[in-house]
Amino acid sequence: MIDFKEEIAKEIAKTIDLDYMEIEKLIEIPKEKNMGDYAYPCFKLAKVLKKAPQIIAEEIKSKIDLSGNLIDKIENAGGYLNFYIKKEELIKTVIEEFNLKKEEYGKSDFGKNKNIIVEYSSPNIAKPFHIGHLRTTLIGNALYNTYKYLGYNTIGINHLGDYGTQFGKMIEGYKRWSEEYTFKNPIDDLMNIYVRINELCKEDEKVLEICRENFKKLEEHQEYEVSLWQKLKELSLKEFYKIYDLLDIKFDSLNGEAFYSDKMQEVIEKLESTGKLIESQGAKIIDLEDKGMPPCMICKSNGSSIYATRDLAAILYRSREYDFDKCLYVVAYEQNLHFKQIFEVAKLLDIDEKYINGLEHVSYGMVHLKTGKMSTREGNVVKVEDLLNEAIERAGKILEEKNPNIENKEEIAKKVGIGAIIFNDLANSRIKDEIFDWDIILNFQGETGPYIQYMYVRTKSILQNANFVPDAKEIDVNILLDEDAINIIKNIYSFEDILKAVTDKNEPYILSRYLIELAKNYSVFYNNNKILVDDKDIANARLYLTYMTNIILLKGAELLGIKMPEKM
């Protein structure tokens, strides 16, 4: 497919003494449609050439040959060179590429031979999987899918919270109160125990100390503590997989914190060899005052580990096992300081700088209820399984009202309900806090998951009514020169660039917004143009545009983790 940006950069490079790749980095896509398809700012050249940007722009414009098939016109707009691509060439390029790749349009080997680790989901054993965990799960899954589609060797790791002082608390709570519970709903009962033991720890410092000792016994592999820990883990994973199955999410590794328990000693020894692991009030720390951060604790005063130690052991292990180019941690912004600290301490582990540079915290905002912040310790959470089931139930009621005779209503309700939850989570920048609101999530109008699914179903219905997809080689591009069609063509042309932008910024919402724009543009096109008309050439051109839109909506939604219904 023609890379118009690159071709424009090459044309500009013929007029000035700059490498076209440097020029290409500065070329933008204007926000306003009337400002052209691409824009090159000449302001940086002003210092070098000692001329006003407007004059430089005019000189470049006068030297570019417009006799080729690529550029329709160039305008000088206050120091910006605005380029207009010939519409016929754009349409031809998109259709030829689409005909070549079809369902794999936008797929590439851009990330070939690059290893990307995405650590996401990572719920805590013996605690509910709440909507705070849902954010990391959905953001991480969308990133995992997109990196993979662009040719990266992608490794999805569910770094389970299956170790730490909280297990000392759970063990103590279980000892004290397990006979009071049936464990028919194990996570609910375990959460109740966890809330109770936390309250007792607040009231009695001695109980908290006992809990710490319980964890130390677990680290020492004492039989009772290990057997109970294993039981808690098995019960929890069984419950978690109900959610992962609903979301159709799978992982390449379930190595959680406990996996690194026998790998921490090497970390401690490496840090000790630097002379920077020092004792402070009985604990072992790395002083980070010179980096503007509080100290990073490596070992507690009783000798037990902390999750920073386990994260450092994981970095060491992953550098050897996966030779990663990037290791992404999809974790809430509340852990910003933690990751700054371990990334800094990781520099002392005597590993290649490549791995240090590849560490990245992909932070995201918190999920709030209308009543305020959630807390596992206080028992104030919304469980994801309940949330997903309620979304499916609500979607079913809406479908019943809109289309009572629809077949496979349960299956469609599942796709619509879960799709609505996923899209709502990924519809805005990940760093923003999210207020959970049912009235917005399941709205079939506006910028929602059900709206994208509805537009997909509309394109599907048109294709089924036509009962064929036209031959791309027979499409008359001149029929698609109107603004409504061109807006869709431009959307489709940019699909791969959108996916690259998602991975450049680790922002799935870029793809979400793209799908909304494509759906809206197709809605306008559909309302202004009858598709299946008597004129065969017109019908074929509009039908092929519908076919391309259908595939991109489907593929884009799949990358976000959303399944498309066949009917609605």
For 434, phi and psi rounded to 5 degrees? -120, 130
Which residues face 82 on adjacent strands?
39, 75
What's the pLDDT score for residue 355? Answer: 98
Pick the CATH number of 115-373 from 1.10.10.10, 3.40.710.10, 3.30.70.590, 3.40.50.620: 3.40.50.620
Least confident interval from 269-278, 377-386, 391-400, 440-449: 377-386
Does residue 528 register a pLDDT over 90?
A: yes
Burial class for 60, CB neighbours closer than 10 Å (0-12, 13-18, 19+): buried
Strand order through the sheet with 372-373 = 372-373, 367-369, 434-435
- The single-letter code of the amino acid at 259 is F
Does residue 530 register a pLDDT over 70?
A: yes
What's the pLDDT score for residue 376? Answer: 47
- Confidence band (pLDDT; 50, 70, 90) for 373? low
User: Rounded CA gap, 288 and 121, in Å?
Assistant: 29
What's the pLDDT score for residue 442? Answer: 66
Q: Which residue has the tokens 């603004």?
A: 483
Percentage of the residues of the chain whose pLDDT score is greater than 90: 76
How confident is the model over 285-338, as pLDDT tens digits? 999 999 999 999 999 887 777 889 999 999 999 999 999 999 999 999 999 999
Does residue 381 register a pLDDT over 80?
A: no
Q: Which of 48, 41, 37 is nearest to 23 (CA)?
A: 41
What does pLDDT average to over the chain?
Answer: 92
- Three-class SS string for 273-312? HCCCEEEECCEEEECCHHHCCCCEEEECCCCCECHHHHHH
The answer to whether the pTM exceeds 0.85 is: yes
Q: How many CB atoms lie within 10 A of CB 386?
A: 13
How confident is the model over 244-295, as pLDDT tens digits? 999 999 999 999 999 998 999 999 999 999 999 999 999 999 999 999 999 9
User: Rounded CA gap, 236 and 252, in Å?
Assistant: 19
Does residue 436 register a pLDDT over 90?
A: no
What's the pLDDT score for residue 372? Answer: 53
CB 103 within 8 A of CB 149: no
Question: How does strand 38-41 pair with strand 80-85?
Answer: antiparallel
What's the pLDDT score for residue 371? Answer: 58
Q: What homologous superfamily is domain 384-560 in, according to CATH?
A: Isoleucyl-tRNA Synthetase; Domain 1 (1.10.730.10)
Domain ranges of the chain: 4-85, 115-373, 384-560
- Confidence band (pLDDT; 50, 70, 90) for 380? low
CB 361 within 8 A of CB 331: yes
- Confidence band (pLDDT; 50, 70, 90) for 370? low
CATH 3.40.50.10790 fits 4-85, yes or no: no
- Confidence band (pLDDT; 50, 70, 90) for 67? confident
- Confidence band (pLDDT; 50, 70, 90) for 443? low
Does residue 420 register a pLDDT over 90?
A: yes
CB 189 within 8 A of CB 235: no
Does residue 123 register a pLDDT over 70?
A: yes
How confident is the model over 169-228, as pLDDT tens digits? 999 999 999 999 988 888 889 889 999 999 999 999 999 999 999 988 998 889 999 999
